[in-house]
Amino acid sequence: MPLFVRLQSFLRNMFSSRRVDTDLDQEVRSHLEMLTEENMRAGMIPEEAQRAARIELGGVEQVKEQVREERIGNWLQSVFADCRFALRQLRKSPAFTAVAILTLALGIGANAVIFSLVNTFLLRPLPIFHPEKIYAIHQGKQNDSSYAQSLSYPNYRDLRDRNQVLSGMAVFRFDPMSLSHYGNNERVWGYLVSANYFDVLGVRPFLGRTFLAEEEGAHNAHPVVVMSYACWRRRFGGDASVVGKPVTINSRTFTVVGVAPPEFGGTESVFAPEFWVPSMMQEWIESWSGLEGRGNGSWFGIGRLRTGVTPQQATAQLDSIAEQLGREYPDINKGMTLRLTPPGLVDPNLRSAVIAFTGALMLTVALLLTIACTNLASLLLARAAQRHKEIAVRMAIGATRTRLMRQLLTESLLLSVIGAGLGLLLGAFLMRLAQASIPSTDFALTLDLRTDWRVVGFVTALALLTGIGFGLVPAFYAGRSDLVIALQDDLARSRRRMRLRSVLVTMQVALSSVLLIAAGLTVRSLQHTKDLGPGFDPDHALTLSVDLGLQGYNEQKGQVFYRQLGERVRALPGMQAAGWIRSLPLGLDDSSTGVYPDGHPAPRGEEMPSAYYESTSPGYFAAMGIPLLAGRDFAQSDTTKSPRVAIVNQTLAQRFWPGESPIGKRLHSGNTGEATLEVVGIAKNGKYQSLGEIPTMAIYYPISQLYPTSAALVVRTNVDAAAALGSIRDEVGKLDPNLPVYEAKTLGEHMNLPLFPLHAGAVAVGSFGLLAMILAAVGIYGVMAYSVAQRTQEIGIRMALGARSLDVWLMVLRQGFLLVVVGMVCGLFASVALSKVVASLLYGVSATDPLSFVLCSLLLAAVALIACFFPARRATRVDPVVAIKCL
Amino acid sequence: MNPEPTTLLQGTLDLLILKSLVSGELHGLGISRRVQLITSGTFLVKPGSLFPALHRMEEEGWISSFWGDSENNRRAKYYRLTKTGRKQLEEETKRWGRISWAIAQALGAS
């Protein structure tokens, strides 16, 4: 019953607040009148009676406010009122509001982006049944805690069958597959998995079934696949009848048995597989099978802990099984241990690296946000000092101290919530940008930076924290009965605080100048890299790759294919040159071999000179635009039966035969066995593994003498890239209609990969630099505005004594610029000091590049000037009469 | 008149207001005067505490209010006890009895 009465009161207070209020007003007024009458009856004259009544009542508005504070629902209603009022206040000073919201949006947006990274890599659980019970299982070494290796299949079987701590254990392996579908051939990525994989993870199929126990039986007996939901939608148009239909992978027929649920993409956070194939089909997928070799450690293990078993208990038992295995197969398993780690990042050691890296980033953005909050606090303080009259009036008409503090906190919370909302949007936008800028690689890389409830929760918490954080100090000050007196009372303390704030702002200016200069250097370096060049001409050339090994080609058939496709492409209109290479330079493949000149004893171990090596076909150098400085290109006459030949680059030639022509010289190399090679040509130097590398020795073999199972064709042409790629694809189709073509793109697009670190670095450093600059500007503005507000009377007196507005301008600007100049000088010194570290990362730009230094400093100075401008203008508009009256 | 009356204990004000309304409905000033009377001038209830308490008690459902005419034909808001209010008064009285007994014991003991 009382609950019902209370609810009724609550509703009345909420929805007929006006009537409740007039009612109260009448009641208090009638009370006052009755008091007056009482006093008159007691013999007072009317004026005196009224005065005494008022004194006893203590103020109509105050009594009403006290009643309001007692009301049910008052809290909620006052929050609404506070919000309405705060919005009105913020609308009244749009510049302040915009600056505050922008600062917060940037600070919180940066935090949201970095937190999303953490969320993707470390926090977001797998979309499977009880993900917290799943652990990645790697093989370790007794005396090396950081060692991690994948398992061999026989060891996996023994671990799986002998333990009592896991309710299930599965293994998987990443594999490229060539998919032929509706006349299209593509190289796609998938998993080979033990048949219990889906059961261990607790993943139920979206359509059809997952793998059966018998599919773990005989080798190559069950050609079945489960496809990913994304693959099913994209390649099969979401056709439900796909289950039971055949699909051609590596020219063999598999049967689709199921489709995985939409949210499931395996256990690794950066890999998006399209197909799952039972491990027993390894030979069909990889052209060989290492399933029975105990030494073939190539399978990644995952296990599900039994209920009530801790990871430590599980590791202990698995280790004892490992010890048994060490006794049974000492050659292979001696000293083996097992490591259980949270899944998702392939290598357990990668996890600690990711934690360290994202941790450092989190700290950086947290620091930026703290700076932003400090700046906003001084802005709000300046604002509170300007608003002291309003606050005094509100206290005079009955607002209590807590009520005022709450009002000011509402204002700052409102700012931080709006800022956080914008920050979240900004973050989502930046993440989409980041995802789009990841260069395409052959590997099925994915970066799922979703804004899920964890990110939203984190940002909400940040918003509340920052809102209270930067609002508390001004709110506390506002609670003082008279703000101006309060501020003057502890002038010494506030001077000290002012100095602290000035130091902080100076540091911000220094930091942003360092970051801006670093960004400037990176951008300049990017320009230079493009001029410097990789040693080949990336314009007017395109490339595509084929994997003949997956398609079951032997060497003889493959050599014929390479030769025929080269001839056919060269015959197409507009094609100037075409040639093959095993793997394009500046790609992800990194191959080197030992080489030494003939006539010297073979150097041992560390002494062996190492060179980048490749196999190329005739026409490759012309297609890439790499000049041959002497000798000849490979020719069709170089065959397996003719003498072994090689082409070397300038660096190798100079090192082995300084001052001599290398043509006709002979050398040995690590990957061509006993045979000596005769140098037939010398190629211009280039970059092979990264754009920043020092000149590296390189050796090229003819593909006819060192056969690669997959290779990239490079074609130089003036024809439009899309059209040219189309006609080359047609030629591939004529030779082998089932052969997938992958990584078809222009050489310019290929360059995105080696340039990516530089691009990403420029964007990251540049945005941190801009962010720091904006924050520093807000900081300067806040400090100057506060200082002007504090010095209002002083400025008024100066003006009354004859200071012109120009003098006031100069006075304020001088103070502001002192901060900026000191900060910038510190920043420049720091940049020069840091330049030694940075130098190794820059290509072709001096780390003290004057252009970067001058431009960045000018930019910073201009922004700082703008930040000082507004407080200075306010100072000149001080009315001496009003300012002195306030004394 | 007692110049600075004793500070009211938390909850005592509610008890006194409830008690003052037992004999019939009263307006705000009436309640104030009646409390003064029945406590022999010990407690002077100021409007600043009286009205918040009245409104809170009304929201709790202990008292109800209506507009009526005062003895001088002035419109005034009157309060009267509800059934819940009477029950509350009984409980508060018992509680107060216990407290004052305990306090008296404590003070007498030492």
* 8 Å CB contact of A72 and B77: no
Q: How confident is the model at residue A632 (pLDDT cuts 50, 70, 90)?
A: very high
pTM across the whole model: 0.68
Categorize the per-residue pLDDT at A489 as very low, low, confident or very high, splitting at 50, 70 and 90.
very low
Looking at residue A440, what is its pLDDT? Answer: 66
A699 and A805 co-located in one domain: no
pLDDT confidence bin for A594, thresholds 50/70/90: confident
Q: Tell how strand A592-597 and strand A698-702 pair up.
A: unpaired
Task: Give a yes or no: residue A270 inside a domain.
Answer: yes
Instruction: Let me know: does A813 contact A861? Beta carbons within 8 Å.
Output: no
Question: In A599-687, where does DSSP find H-type helix?
Answer: 620-624, 650-656
Domain identity same for A322 and A367: no
The confidence band for A845, taking pLDDT boundaries of 50, 70 and 90, is low
CA atoms of A264 and A245, how far apart (whole Å): 22
Of A292, A312, A343, the last residue of a domain is: A343
Domain termination site, one of A733, A750, A767: A750
The answer to whether the Cβ–Cβ distance between A35 and B84 falls below 8 Å is no
Mean pLDDT, to the nearest integer, of A854-858?
Answer: 85
Amino acid, single-letter form, for residue A594: G
Using a CB–CB cutoff of 8 Å, tell me whether B37 touches chain A.
Answer: no
Q: Does one domain contain both A745 and A759?
A: no
* CB nearest to A34's CB, from B49, B61, B76: B76
Does residue A37 sit in the same domain as residue A183?
no
Q: Is residue A94 part of a domain?
A: no
Total domain count for chain A? 4
Residues of chain B with Cβ-Cβ distance to A67 below 8 Å are 51-52, 55
Are residues A792 and A838 located together in one domain of the fold? Answer: yes
Nearest Cα neighbor of A409 from A325, A360, A468 is A468
Mutate to test the interface with B, among A70, A75, A400 (most CBs of B within 10 A): A70
* Tokens encoding A613: 């090596």
User: A657 and A776: one domain?
Assistant: no
Rounded Cα–Cα distance for residues A404 and A82 (Å): 10
- Please list every residue in chain A whose beta carbon sits closer than 8 Å to the beta carbon of residue B37: none
Mean pLDDT within A502-517: 82
A253-288 pLDDT per residue, tens: 899 999 999 888 888 887 888 999 999 998 888 877
pLDDT in tens, A21-59: 888 888 888 888 888 888 888 888 888 888 888 888 877
Please indicate, yes or no, whether residues A150 and A229 belong to a single structural domain of this protein. yes
Question: pLDDT digit string (tens) for A134-184?
Answer: 999 988 877 777 777 888 888 899 999 998 999 999 999 988 888 887 777
Q: What is the least distance, in Å, from the CA of B101 to any CA of chain A?
A: 30
Same domain, A7 and A150: no
Please give the Cα distance from A484 to A387 (Å, whole number). Answer: 10
- The average pLDDT across A722-739 equals 90
What was the ipTM of the complex prediction? 0.84
pLDDT at A2: 60
CA within 13 Å, CB half, A249: 30
Please tell me if residue B68 touches chain A, with a CB cutoff of 8 Å.
Answer: no
A147: which residues sit within 8 A by CB, 6+ positions away? A140, A141
The answer to whether residues A303 and A131 touch, using CB atoms and an 8 Å cutoff, is: no
* Contact (CB, 8 A) for A193 and A171: yes
Do residue A306 and residue A366 come from a single domain? no
A785 and A806 both lie in a single domain:
yes
Quick check: is A644 in a domain?
yes
The CATH class of the B12-109 domain is mainly alpha
Q: Do A28 and B59 touch (CB under 8 A)?
A: no
The domain containing residue A370 runs over which residues?
A: 352-531+755-885
- Is A785 found in the same domain as A717? no
DSSP assignment of A3-27: HHHHHHHHHHHHHSHHHHHHHHHHH
Last-in-domain residue among A317, A343, A369: A343
- For A392-416, how does the pLDDT look when each residue is reduced to its tens digit (9 = 90+)? 777 777 677 777 788 888 888 898 8
- Are A332 and A357 found together in one domain? no
